[in-house]
Structure formats: structure tokens, C-alpha cells
Amino acid sequence: MKVLLINGSPHAQGCTYTALSEVAAALEADGVNTELWQIGQMDVRGCIACHRCRELGKCVFDDAVNQAQEKLRLCDGLIVGSPVYYASANATLTAFLDRLFFSCGAMLAHKPAAAVVSARRAGTTATLDQLNKYFMLSQMPVVSSQYWNMVHGNSAQEVLQDQEGLQIMRTLGHNMAWLLRCMEAGKAAGVPLPPQEERVGTNFIR
């Protein structure tokens, strides 16, 4: 089993990285392989709603988004980490996720996912809400912890002083590993995936 952890922060080893590293350590301790991928300084443009991904099976812009799609094909779970910018995820990560989930959201169905956020002080719950919506729109089971998945600090060193936050990260990692083992056991026992109806779209304007 393997979990991909995406660091949306432009700081490769900052606060968000520190939080994700704590999650990854807990996953590894439970026998789950991890890959921590930093995309925060990549040149990622926003979605232009061209719908070419429906024809191509991937985004028309061949960059980190398509790389992520290939990585996720080989992974059993996903964790996305972001700093808080104006009570939301940073722009690069938002553009990345918009295109990723629009181009391959169906492929992500039933893979467990979680969001992790870091802030100096506030805006964390709004950012968690934003990130969790990507998972919920794609039928991904959202993994929780003992409290909101957040750490606080203005530097990696300060995050290391947030003992409650670090414990929340470890609990999240263990919960993700437990759910993945449960799903593996279900597959071995022959439990099928939920039935999928043909999608129905209803417009509000008639």
C-alpha cells in the first residue's frame, strides 16, 4: 500500500512539510509506503474548462497535473497539505487541484483522502473545508483525526512546538493506515465496490 502526500507550499521544508512529514512517519510505522511530493514552486496554470481531458484522458496542459495522475494510479490514498493564504489554500495548489480533479476525478473514487493545513494563527478551518470539497465531489472517503487536521506556527521550528498539532498528524496517519488495511481486507473477502449509477445532471434554470 502507498499514500501520496502533496505539499502545496512554496517552502519545500517549511511548516506544511513538517506536518506532512509527521503524517508520513506514522504511515510508514504502520507499514504503508509514502511519497512526499512538493509542487508549491511549480509553474501550474489554472483550468480553462476546455473539456479536452474528456477526450484525452488527461489535462491538455502536460505538466505536474498529469504527473500527479500517473502517481495516483499507483497509490491507494492521497493527503494534500497547504499553507493558509487569506483563509484558503495557496493559488498554485488550488490551480493544481482544480485541473487534477476535473481531468481525473473519476479515477480517484474510493481512494481515502485527507487534507492538512498550517497557519500562523487562523483561517485553517476555511482552508480545510475548501480542500475537503475536492475529495467529497469525487467519492473519496475523507479520513479524520482527533481534531481538525491543522498545525500552527510561523516556522518549521515553531510547528515542532505544537505538540497537539503533531499528535493530530500522527493520529491522521494511523487512521489512514487502518482504513487502507480495512479496505484491503474487504477486497480479499470479495466485498465489491458500491454500485455506480449513470450520472444525472439537473440544471436549476429551465
Q: What is the pLDDT along the chain (206 residues), one digit of tens a residue?
A: 999 999 999 999 999 999 999 999 999 999 999 999 999 999 999 999 999 999 999 999 999 999 999 999 999 999 999 999 999 999 999 999 999 999 998 899 999 999 999 999 999 999 999 999 999 999 999 999 999 999 999 999 999 999 999 999 999 999 999 999 999 999 999 999 999 999 898 998 87
Q: What is the pLDDT of residue 205?
A: 85
Q: Which ranges in 74-155 belong to alpha helices (H)?
A: 91-104, 124-136
173 belongs to a structural domain: yes
55 belongs to a structural domain: yes
193 belongs to a structural domain: no
Cα–Cα dist 122/87, whole Å: 7
194 belongs to a structural domain: no
Query: How far does CA 206 lie from the centroid of its chain?
Result: 36
Query: Does residue 79 contact residue 116 with C-beta atoms inside 8 Å?
Result: yes
What grid cell was written down for 204? 436549476
Query: Closest by alpha carbon to 113, among 147, 149, 159, 88?
Result: 149
**Domain span at residue 73?**
2-188
Query: Closest by alpha carbon to 133, among 168, 104, 105?
Result: 105
130 belongs to a structural domain: yes
Q: What total number of domains does the chain contain?
A: 1
Place of cell 473514487: 109
31 belongs to a structural domain: yes
164 belongs to a structural domain: yes
149 belongs to a structural domain: yes
Cα–Cα dist 32/108, whole Å: 18
Read off the CATH number of the domain in which 110 is found.
3.40.50.360
What's the chain's length in residues? 206
